[in-house]
Amino acid sequence: MADWYSWVGKVLDVDLTSEKITKIPSDRYFPNFLGGRGLEAKVIWDDVPEGTKALDPENRLIFAPSSLTGTNSPMNGRWNIGALAPSHPDEYPSSSAIGGHWGAELKFAGYDGVIVHGKASRPVYLLIRDEEVEIRSASNYWGLDAIEGQKKLAADIAAERSFPDMAEKPEAGRYNPINIRTVMIGPAGENSSRIACIMHDSGDSAGQGGFGGVMGSKNLKAISVRGSGAVKAKDPQRMMEVIYKIRRMIRHEARVVIPPFGGPGGLYGGDPSLLTGYVKRADGCFGCQVGCRGFFDVPGSPPGQAQCVQLQMYNNWEGVGPVAPPHPDFSNRQQDETTWYGIRLADELGINAYELTGILSWLWACWKEKIFGSTQAEFEENTGISNIEDMGSKEFADNLFGMIANREGEFGNLLADGLYRAAKQLKEKFGNRVWELYEERYVASGSRQHWFYIGTARGPADPTGYANPIGQLMWAIGSRDPYSNCSFTREPYAKPDIAKSIYGNEESANPFTYDGKAQAASIAYTRGCMNDSIGFCDWFFPILTVEPFFKEEGEEEEGRHLGDLTVEAQVFSAATGIEKTIDQLMEDSYRVVNLERAIMVRMGRRRENDTFSNFFFNNPDRRGNPVDRVAWEKVKDDFYSYMGWDPKTGIPTRARLESLDLKDVADTLGV
């Protein structure tokens, strides 16, 4: 493409083994693979050799802004990091969404993505400043935590005063070197933990997938980027008109004032005093009109961003799911300075807080059932964890989180590889109950329980919840927690008009049957991929309904009505200059989903692997029914039919792949 709009024209390929840096024209990937997850899938399919493991040098770690990242489209600060995932039991490719400002800054520097492979001979970091791209020694930063390390790196680079053109530009403003943006790993990543995250700023992270461990396995401490360019839109006037329409739809629901106090991204089930006492402001990603998280300043710990499960991680761990009202065991526990201490420590060490909610819940259940010992002394002898009854203290966090990040002792080393691998080994010595307690908390793909059930008084993941058949399908066929980008799928339940609008049938509104669920899951899963590829936050998109909270000046009062499911395509078309209907954009997203599937098929995935933990087949939900295996297998048949996959094997058919311009993929798979 001679003139790039929305995309900026180059992708960086960095071979850390040879320290060779190549700038690849973006038309190798775009527009066919959109961006975000699309870039990840294309790179892994093309460039990762068969037989590669997640922590091998030849695994590709892809830093992938979305199509619209860096524009003025709403909430475009979301972007993705992907690779073969070390946290996954089979190391299938996966993706983790992350927010903040790094993705936009990369595009301002002139790059639509960064592909990292190989392994450096020493700790290094990558410095990107417009056309200048350098691999530098990270010896001064290796061993530092992921929050303070970013600050030191930024200060050191700014002090050099050797920058690209710093003249003020009409389209990009003035270049301020201290505002360099960084993604960095902590000690957990340096030690190749399979549950290590990649941190950005003071609270944004790519948590699920274990990509911090991939980064550490390559001896890559950080990537810092500062750009002085801009991202151009093809039709700015049209884009502004669509954005204003979106802004009004979201503002009608007053979401801008809700999140820090318990709405989307806010403090679910938490103690309001933590908010009123310590939240200094709402905080948001680049280009976000909402600001869905709080910026906390708590005595005794560094300040920073936090939200949602992250805020619950070190407070309430008895619930099977990560978000639930306080359990009786902890009814007197307050979310206070100690809670925040645990949150900050996990971020500093670079451990996925979502995984820690599962580990803490599992450990407490094992203690209550006396699996690792009937006394604290026996428990410590078998695990190395002291004072289990003091879980929730600063000392306990130092002990457990430090063990994991530094792979201290046999037990710490096991937990550093994630609870799936730890429980699998520990059941051989301590009995199968260790595994049963794991399965109760982890649905599939080695991922923490999240919205497998719905409609429970104790929280969204309690085993007494109601069935969530759309969620069951998405959990079974993906390689990560699907509710990282498909949270909207809960809203159409019990609302036939919404179900008909987005899924094309009213039957999918009934959570107590499988009717319509295959069609719904195929659309929801692919629409989630679209969010991750073009750059829309799934907490707000698709806009299923508009429920006015107040009217703006000059507007007539309106009641609740269905939202506009096409706005994503409208923004994409205005920004890129490539006219797309929402159906065409969905077909592009089906291309990405099928390429992701093809990679997993090439690694050995088949129909029998599309399932979830046996716990859910063997234990009743709130209505007294476990998942019906016969009905489950039938709805899988239907799902494969909607996706264009062979119902016997789960492999995409040649006809479907060729319809998506993936003939080469069909040839490689031999279908």
Q: Could you read off the pLDDT of 126-158 as tens digits, one per residue?
A: 999 999 999 999 999 999 999 999 999 999 998
Q: Which amino acid is at 501?
A: S
Instruction: Show the DSSP H helices in 109-235 as ranges.
Output: 148-160, 187-190, 211-217
For 318-350, b where at least 16 C-beta lie within 10 A, e where not — what string?
ebbbbbbebbeebeebebbebbbbbbbbbbbbb
507 close to 513: Cβ distance less than 8 angstroms: yes
Q: Could you read off the pLDDT of 43-60 as tens digits, one per residue?
A: 999 999 999 999 999 999
- 3-class DSSP assignment, residue 57: coil
- pLDDT of 323 reads 53
The mean pLDDT value for 101-125 works out to: 97
Looking at per-residue pLDDT, the higher value among 293 and 276 belongs to: 293
- pLDDT of 268 reads 41
Pairing of strands 61-64, 79-84: antiparallel
Say yes or no to pLDDT of 404 above 70: yes
- pLDDT of 590 reads 98
Say yes or no to pLDDT of 556 above 80: no
Say yes or no to pLDDT of 574 above 60: yes
Predicted confidence band of residue 649 (pLDDT cuts 50, 70, 90): very high
Strand partners, 83: 94
> Could you tell me the domains of the chain?
10-226 (3.60.9.10), 260-426 (1.10.569.10), 450-546+581-669 (1.10.599.10)
DSSP letters for 227-238: -------S-HHH
- 3-class DSSP assignment, residue 51: coil
Distance CA(443)–CA(637), nearest Å, equals: 21
- pLDDT of 254 reads 45
Q: Which amino acid is at 638?
A: D
411 close to 400: Cβ distance less than 8 angstroms: no
The mean pLDDT value for 430-444 works out to: 95
Predicted confidence band of residue 439 (pLDDT cuts 50, 70, 90): very high
Question: Residue 588 corresponds to which tokens in the numbers above?
Answer: 């592009």
Q: How many residues does the chain have?
A: 671
Mean pLDDT score of the chain: 89
- pLDDT of 353 reads 92
- pLDDT of 248 reads 82
Q: How many CB atoms lie within 10 A of CB 632?
A: 18
Say yes or no to pLDDT of 486 above 80: yes
The mean pLDDT value for 77-86 works out to: 96
Weakest-pLDDT range from 25-39, 165-179, 534-548? 165-179
- pLDDT of 473 reads 97
Q: Could you read off the pLDDT of 317-329 as tens digits, one per residue?
A: 666 665 555 556 6
Distance CA(210)–CA(213), nearest Å, equals: 6
Looking at per-residue pLDDT, the higher value among 294 and 1 belongs to: 294
Q: Which of 357, 377, 486, 359 lies closest to 415 in space, CA to CA?
A: 359
The mean pLDDT value for 591-598 works out to: 98
- Please enumerate in sequence order all residues whose Cβ is within 8 A of that of 303, keeping only pairs 6 or more positions apart, or say none: 202, 280, 295, 296, 297
Say yes or no to pLDDT of 666 above 50: yes
Question: Residue 133 corresponds to which tokens in the numbers above?
Answer: 């791209």
Return the top range by mean pLDDT from 152-156, 488-492, 546-550: 152-156
Torsion of CA 24, 28, 30, 31, to 10 degrees: 150
- 3-class DSSP assignment, residue 188: helix
Predicted confidence band of residue 484 (pLDDT cuts 50, 70, 90): confident
- Over 316-339, what HEC string results? CCCCCCCCCCCCHHHCCCCCCHHH
533 close to 42: Cβ distance less than 8 angstroms: no
- pLDDT of 555 reads 61
Weakest-pLDDT range from 61-65, 178-182, 252-256, 352-356? 252-256
- pLDDT of 255 reads 47
- pLDDT of 329 reads 65
**What phi and psi values does residue 197 have, to the nearest 5 degrees?**
-105, 170
What angle, 0 to 180 degrees and rounded to 10, lies between the N-to-C axes of helices 469-477 and 517-530?
60
Looking at per-residue pLDDT, the higher value among 639 and 545 belongs to: 639
Strand partners, 81: 63, 96
Looking at per-residue pLDDT, the higher value among 115 and 262 belongs to: 115
